[in-house]
Amino acid sequence: MLRVLAHPAYRRLFTAQVLALLGTGLATVALGLLAYDLAGADAGTVLGTALTIKMVAYVSVSPLVGAVAARLPRRAFLAAASALRAVCALGLPLVDQVWQVYLLILLLQTASAAFTPVFQATIPDVLTDERDYTRALSLSRLAYDLESLASPLIAAALLTVVGYDTLFLGTGAGFLAASVLVLAAPLPGGRAEEAPARNGSLLGVGPFLRVPRLRALLAMNLAVASATAVVLVNTVVIVRDGLGREQSAVALALGAFGAGSMAVALLLPRVLERTGDRPVMLPAGFVLALGLAGAALTLSEATGTAAWPGLLACWCLLGAGTSLVLTPTGRLLRRTGGSHPLPSLFAAQFALSHACFLLTYPLAGWLGARAGQPLTLGVFALLALGAAGAATVLWRDRVPTRTA
């Protein structure tokens, strides 16, 4: 897998991605501490509002940006977006009002909504060989999973010697370094097919309504959002209140989710080369439903010591199922890019997948608080199962083509 890093342009882009992810992780920790300084006991409300702003920016901005980016030089566009993120991050330590936090978060996440899908759409143009591109997708998935594990540890180590304001400086430095690396990468020019398309494709949404495998991807996005929302929103409640375990156990449970995702990302390149995308992605929704249903049964029937390993196994299964969908997604979009602008397709996928989280995040929290965790897990298992079934019905093109 690491062999793909021998490609000079991709090596710079991957390094830029890692540095930006590390900066994002540091900012997540620092933002929580800043919110507590500004709002005290209302810090949760501040963070919840900030996350809502993030999702709204992702859903509303990225399709529009994808359409515009198809007409602009990618290298300059990506560098400018990353530089804007750096400016916003460096401004956060200077704020003294909550509304200022919201404004900077809106600008930062708007820049992220511009940067991320265009960056993702650039990789298949840099790595034209499909085997190399598949390895790059797995490497990217690993980077996301490792960031979720490493960033909190790095932030905790830094906070023993510096204040949280310094974490924002690290975030800004990461984004600036990413901007420099993008500028240093020899990127190919835009392709002829990236001219604005008609029939609703300008915003990238049209193909998701017409192309069978992209309609299926919409359903699979909902299955992924169902599993991810339960893990991110409810893990702390399940572990601390439901199982009565210590704080470190929360990190272990989240680590099990990440471990499942990383294991699949490591194995997928060879599997995808043999089987293609459809046999890998369609069963993933059922894997997610199984993991959620297993967790519901574990919490309903097992107690104390017996429930803990069961939960870890289920969380690991959910991480694996999530990676089975997310890792090959770029290949799916690339195959559709023969007649549609790639930046617009990636931007539409970015927006539509995050729109699912606007449903599942609040539902996971609200239902968990009022109906209990076993019932919540059961409801989300049914939601994932329905999404998996819909994807199976929708994706009927068994032979990968560029237009089917």
Domain count, the chain: 2
Dihedral sign, Cα of residue 380, residue 382, residue 384, residue 390? negative
CA 158 to chain centre: 25
> Where a domain ends, among 149, 174, 192?
192
The verdict on 205 and 184 lying in the same domain is: no
The verdict on 131 and 233 lying in the same domain is: no
Give yes or no for a contact between 278 and 331, defined as CB atoms under 8 angstroms apart.
no
> Where a domain ends, among 148, 169, 192?
192
The verdict on 178 and 204 lying in the same domain is: no
Reading the block at residue 105, the tokens are 């978060």
Range(s) of the domain holding residue 343? 200-404
The verdict on 137 and 264 lying in the same domain is: no
Block means of pLDDT (10 residues each) for the chain, length 404 residues?
83 92 85 82 72 84 71 86 94 91 92 88 86 88 80 79 89 94 79 45 70 92 94 84 80 85 89 89 96 93 77 95 93 75 81 89 86 93 97 75 39
The verdict on 291 and 389 lying in the same domain is: yes
The verdict on 312 and 384 lying in the same domain is: yes
Residue 344 to residue 70: CA distance in whole angstroms: 7
pTM of the model: 0.81
The verdict on 240 and 167 lying in the same domain is: no
The verdict on 228 and 160 lying in the same domain is: no
One-letter amino acid of 36: Y
The verdict on 298 and 379 lying in the same domain is: yes
The verdict on 123 and 154 lying in the same domain is: yes
Residue 28 to residue 167: CA distance in whole angstroms: 9
3-state helix, strand, coil in the chain (%, to 5): 85, 0, 15
Residue 121 to residue 347: CA distance in whole angstroms: 9
> Where a domain ends, among 149, 167, 192?
192
Dihedral sign, Cα of residue 71, residue 76, residue 79, residue 83? negative
The verdict on 264 and 396 lying in the same domain is: yes
Our separate counts of H helices and E strands in the chain read 14, 0
Residue 265 to residue 152: CA distance in whole angstroms: 22
Give yes or no for a contact between 288 and 388, defined as CB atoms under 8 angstroms apart.
yes
Give yes or no for a contact between 367 and 376, defined as CB atoms under 8 angstroms apart.
yes
Q: What is the model's pLDDT at position 192?
A: 41
One-letter amino acid of 85: R
Q: What is the model's pLDDT at position 338?
A: 59
The verdict on 133 and 163 lying in the same domain is: yes
Query: Domain holding 157: CATH number?
Result: 1.20.1250.20
Tally Cβ neighbours within 10 Å of residue 78. 27
Name residues whose C-beta falls within 8 Å of residue 55's C-beta, 6 or more positions apart in sequence: 354, 355, 357, 358, 361
Q: What is the model's pLDDT at position 254?
A: 83
